[in-house]
Amino acid sequence: MHNQFVFEPAPQPVLEISNSDKLFPVHRIYCVGRNYADHAIEMGHDPNREPPFFFQKNPDSLLKSGQDFPYPSATNDVHFEMELVVAMGKGGVNIAVEAALDHVFGYAVGLDMTRRDLQGEAKKLGRPWEVGKAFEASAPCSQIVPASAIGHPAKGAIWLTVNGIERQRGDLDQLIWNIPETIAYLSTLFSLQAGDLIFTGTPAGVGAIHRGDEMVGGVDGIAEIHVKVV
Ligand code: MN
């Protein structure tokens, strides 16, 4: 019988749900690259509607709002990217755009923290992005607000301040690939599951943070996130 672990399994990554004592068990974290035109332009790319592309972070890289973000190793250029996060309540493959929102449990706001120097080097050398994107604590995320409470937002300001100074501002209606389209496209590449999170991309204004900085961001009508860099 194979029924015992050789060591204690890692705990199930979870997010809290607003106004609930239940937890959301996180399965995978998908992220969309360059999904706002003004951010694509600031990164030196074509803002036209190319097919979306994706990368992943590890579920155990989640950091709760209010927790400190430990400045990571091997970098001198860590950037914030403020993003709307979609929390899937149902999975599927080849999900139709029209049916996509029925698969959403709720929404959160998150930070796609990025070692920009290592990501830049990887891009230049045609290497994978993990060292730039998937390090420990690279995915700070707020509580999830259920769609049953707020519906499915298609617009609303997305913003971030660092030490009280506004650094990013956009609106969900500027997404190049909107939420249903993103879910539909992603489900042609992966078998989506309940518990998956999708970081949907960041508006312009990304920049470096330093130890001691306090980041506060949000999407109006959904949630806010507070993270201090240590
Ligand atoms: Mn991002």
For residue range 194-215, what is the model confidence (pLDDT) as tens digits?
Answer: 999 999 999 999 999 999 999 9
CA 136 – ligand 1 centroid, Å: 16
Per-residue confidence band for 50, with pLDDT thresholds at 50, 70 and 90: confident
CA 35 – ligand 1 centroid, Å: 8
Per-residue confidence band for 27, with pLDDT thresholds at 50, 70 and 90: very high
pLDDT exceeds cutoff 90 at 54: yes
Tokens 């972070």 found at:
57
CATH code of the domain covering residue 24: 3.90.850.10
Per-residue confidence band for 41, with pLDDT thresholds at 50, 70 and 90: confident
Number of domains in the chain: 1
The span from the CA of 224 to the CA of 175, in Å, is 19
The span from the CA of 14 to the CA of 147, in Å, is 18
The stretch 222-227 carries a mean pLDDT of: 98
Q: Please give the pLDDT value at position 39.
A: 87
CA 5 – ligand 1 centroid, Å: 36
171 in a structural domain: yes
8 in a structural domain: no
6 in a structural domain: no
pLDDT exceeds cutoff 80 at 188: yes
18 in a structural domain: yes
The span from the CA of 54 to the CA of 19, in Å, is 31
CA 192 – ligand 1 centroid, Å: 19
Q: How does the average pLDDT of the chain come out, rounded?
A: 96
pLDDT exceeds cutoff 80 at 1: no
The stretch 137-164 carries a mean pLDDT of: 98
CA 212 – ligand 1 centroid, Å: 22
Q: Please give the pLDDT value at position 62.
A: 98
CA 199 – ligand 1 centroid, Å: 7
Q: Please give the pLDDT value at position 200.
A: 98
The gap from C-alpha 18 to its chain's centroid, in whole angstroms, comes to 18
CA 182 – ligand 1 centroid, Å: 14
Q: Please give the pLDDT value at position 75.
A: 98
Q: Please give the pLDDT value at position 61.
A: 98
Q: Extract the runs of DSSP E, i.e. beta strands, from the chain.
A: 14-16, 23-25, 29-32, 54-57, 62-64, 68-69, 78-80, 82-88, 104-111, 114-115, 139-141, 145-146, 157-162, 165-171, 197-199, 207-208, 214-219, 223-229
Which residues are in the CB-under-5-Å shell of ion ligand 1? 81, 112, 202
3 in a structural domain: no
Q: Please give the pLDDT value at position 208.
A: 98
CA 7 – ligand 1 centroid, Å: 34
